[in-house]
Every structure is written in structure tokens, then in C-alpha cells.
Amino acid sequence: MTGQKPRGGTFMDTLKAVLWGFLGVRKRSEYEKDIQRLNPLHLVVMGIVMAFVFVGALIALVNWVAG
């Protein structure tokens, strides 16, 4: 171990960071805070999950409009 303290950050913090990333709008200072406190693995997993949710929502919307 390198002596680094474990990264904290709640589920909601990770979700907010990913959603802001999807929009592409984020203050640099907030981005830097996220990098310091959020686990990169959690960010990747949440990003993949949210991408599937987004695609599923688009498919549902198209089916609803076309149906």
C-alpha cells in the first residue's frame, strides 16, 4: 500500500458527477474536487450504467412516439 487514504464520496456524488459529465458542463474547481474524492472505478461503472439508461430511455421514447 502507498499510504493513500481511501476515497470517500457517496452514491449521489458519483451520480451527479456522471450526469454533469454527460451534459459537458462543469466548473473546473468542482471537477477537481470530484477527482480527489470519487473512486474512478465507481465513475466508470456509473457512466456505463447511465449510458444504458439513456439508450433505454431513447428506445422507449421512440416506441412510444411511433406506436
What is the domain partition of the chain in residue ranges? 11-66
pLDDT confidence of residue 58: 97
pLDDT confidence of residue 10: 86
Q: Which residues contact 43 (CB under 8 A, 6 or more apart)?
A: 14, 17, 18
Residues 24-65 have pLDDT tens digits of: 888 888 888 888 888 889 989 999 999 999 999 999 999 999
Check the CA dihedral 3-37-31-56 and report its sign.
positive
Q: For the whole model, what pTM was predicted?
A: 0.73
Residue 48 or 8, more confident: 48
